[in-house]
Structure 1
Amino acid sequence: MFGYRPEIEFAESGTVYDALKYEDPVPLSHVVRKTYFHKLDLAPAGLLLSEYETETAYALQHKIDPPFTQRLAIALDEIEADYDLVIIDCPPQLGFTTMTALLASTGLLITVVPSMLDVASMAQFLEMAGETVRTLEEATGPIDWSFLKYLIARFEPTDVPQSQMAGFLRSILLDQVLNTPMLKSTAISDAGMTQQTIYELEPSQVVKKTLDRVLESVNGVADEFEKTIQQAWGRRNE
């Protein structure tokens, strides 16, 4: 969707790994690529990033500085003045890569599919994450995120069990759950098949009613999340 194929174009270099690696890291600005979306740049990931897991285990044993807890934060310092917002997309696993990202972040948005198995899985992940973060805090000091929000994703309003589970989540997490869910839609699947966003779909590619419905959902999520960010910045929402 950003005009790149990481598995082909960045098979040997050009990913975030280049800025995080322990031997001869490059400035993050050398990794950042322009996209064809106005004012939206990309720092690609790729299979090479898996090397960071192995290298970090070695670095911890040999006390190589800076430690993994600071590496992405330090890399981001170089480009911070160039951007209003940096979004880091992490896999739902507690490896060194994800922990490095969590410690460099100022806020968290956690997606959850409103089904029993997905919620149970998320609960276990968060429990493990909490224990890991508490351990890291002993070494790095308190971690203070500006916000922690949950986004209900792949939501089907006509699915009664999903609606019940979404209500259950809201009753427990209250205003930590965004009001607008991200709908499950064939329009999103169709766009993904052609490496497009839903904003690029031609009217002939999908039923108009379906497209309007998912656009309302995506725009609603984006607007609400923008308000969350504005509040974290101490700005009034207008």
Structure 2
Amino acid sequence: MEQSALPAVTLTELDQLSSRAATVIARLRDRLYAPGTEKRLELSFNVRRAAEMVGRTEKAIRDAEADGRLPEPEKDPATGRRTGYSLSDVNRMREVFGTLPHRAESDRAMVLAVQNFKGGVGKSTMVCHLAQYLALKGYRVCVIDCDSQASTTSMFGLNPDVDVDEEEDTLYPFFRHGGPQSLTYALRATYWPGIALIPANLGLYDAEYEFAARMARDSTFILDRLRAGIDTIRDRFDVILMDPPPALGMLSLSVLRAADALVIPAPPNNIDFGSTAHFLKMMGATLNELARAGGPRDYAFVKILATKMNDGKSAHVAIKRMMDAVFPMDMLQATLKDSAEIDNATANLSTVYELTGASTRTDTHKRCRAYLDAVNREIEILIRKTWPSHHPRLRKEGLL
């Protein structure tokens, strides 16, 4: 038999390739997670912006500071002017003025999954930006990273390889036989006021094997295990966001069973749109199968979000038009445009909402921020529509 002109790649050489890849990853992590570079939120708001966020006048804020309801603001010693308010300061103002947007105790916290079985569609990007948008508004948010790739965990400043122990900090212990009965053990405060995180790392992949081993014994327990865990922390938050793995596995199925609503990111290109169509077909079939085992699950809403949209590409425009025609009631009206601003921020494990300084004054940043705000505001309104306590305000705002 004639031999290949190429030499065989042996297991030893594959091990060497893996070792070199690990070295590159280590160098990247050393740069992004260098000692003394713990992530902090550097956002600062002047009194005008703080007043807009709180829903009160600048005078009301100054009066509250003068009569002691709010602490005296920090001032620049040289100029005597306010140095700016942090998000924690703004939330304190909201508490004083009664303008925090929290749901009523009688309303159920929204459990929202940003779900697609295909990778690279903007799922983690959407979760992080939506969480931070809601936190800026004053909501109490929990982010559950269900993906062993841990992109969302990294974006919130944790090194999955160092700062996260799969035996203690991720969802993995909860899925193990005899594991904790509540998810409180895994909740981590973040540098964002109002956002808690249940992190992930590569060890979470082992949960798939735990699932497979237990599925034959008790399929209903396994499928609804995550849902039961979320119920143990639900009363602490207004919104719980889940970032599932980009694959049809047991974790993804658990997310589908646990979610109250779904947002499905789908870039308007042939491959991604085709994959999303297959995802919807597969999801329908899968949920029907799961319903036979654990009962049906209804969703408050299921919306498709066009992501990475480029209006300059005729193919994108044509496919987006087709998406609107095929899913007239299911598409979010806003689209998440393709933006170098998001890509550049993500490369530094950051988000557009965290950027400060001169970069936020560029037209590119302002356009990107407008796209993100439009998408996130539309989702926020959908969430509020599920809370009866918000209905009077929504009617007053002309949104219901």
Shorter-normalised TM range:
over 0.9
The Cα of 1:205 is off from its aligned counterpart by: 4.2
Structure 1 residue aligned with 2:179: 24
Matched, 1:229 2:379: no
2:229 matches 1:75: yes
Structure 1 partner of 2:251: 97
1:125 deviation in Å? 2.0
Which residue of the other structure, out of 293, 302, 311, is the alignment partner of 1:139?
Answer: 293
TM-score of the two chains, using structure 1 as the length reference = 0.93
For structure 2, list consecutive stretches of 5 or more residues without a partner in the other structure.
1-154
Q: Give the alignment of 1:1-238 within 5 angstroms.
A: 1-13=155-167, 14-25=169-180, 27-61=182-216, 63-64=217-218, 67-205=221-359, 208-234=362-388, 235-236=390-391, 237=394, 238=397
Displacement after TM superposition at 1:200 (Å):
2.1
Distance in structure 2 (CA, Å) of the matches to 1:42 and 1:146: 23
Give the match's secondary structure for 1:136.
helix
| SS of alignment partner, residue 282 of structure 2 | helix
Q: Distance in 1 between matches of 2:230 and 2:367?
A: 36
Q: 1:107 to 1:225 in 2, by over 3 A?
A: same
Q: Call closer, same or farther: CA 1:22–1:65 in 2, change over 3 Å.
A: farther
* Number of residue pairs the alignment of both structures matches: 237
Partners of 1:182 and 1:118 in 2: how far apart?
Answer: 15
Letter aligned with residue 183 of structure 2? L
**Displacement of 1:111 after TM fit?**
0.3
Specify the code of the residue in structure 1 equivalent to 2:225. Answer: R
Deviation string, structure 1 residues 93-138 (Cα, Å, up to 9, x no partner): 2100010011011111000000011111111122222211111111
Q: Is the 8 A contact 1:11 1:47 kept in 2?
A: no
Deviations 1:134-183 (A, max 9, x none): 11111212211110001110111211110111111011111210111011
Q: Which has the higher contact order (CA 8 A, sep 6+)?
A: 2
Percentage of matched positions with identical amino acids: 28
Tell me how large the CA RMSD over aligned residues is.
1.7
Partners of 1:142 and 1:118 in 2: CA distance: 28
Aligned residues of 2:245 and 2:251 also touching (Cα < 8 A): no
1:172-213, Cα deviation, whole Å (9 max, x unpaired): 111210111011111111111222211222344477010000
CA distance in 1, matches of 2:371, 2:274: 25
Give runs of ≥4 in structure 1 deviating > 3 Å. 202-207
SS in structure 2 at match of 1:176? coil
Deviation at 1:64, TM superposition (A): 4.3
State the TM-score, normalizing by the size of structure 2. 0.57
Give the Cα–Cα distance (whole angstroms) in 2 for the partners of residues 12 and 86 of structure 1: 21
Work out which of the two has the higher radius of gyration on C-alpha atoms and give 1 or 2.
2
CA distance in 2, matches of 1:29, 1:139: 28
2:280 maps to amino acid: L
Given residue 25 of structure 1, which amino acid in structure 2 is its aligned partner? P
Aligned equivalents of 1:76, 1:230: Cα separation in 2: 19
**Residues 193 and 47 (structure 1 numbering): CA distance in 2 closer, same or farther, change over 3 Å?**
same
Q: Secondary structure at the match of 1:174?
A: coil
Structure 1 residues 26 and 137 mapped into 2: Cα distance closer, same or farther (>3 Å)? closer
Alignment check: 8 A CA contact 2:226 2:254 kept: yes
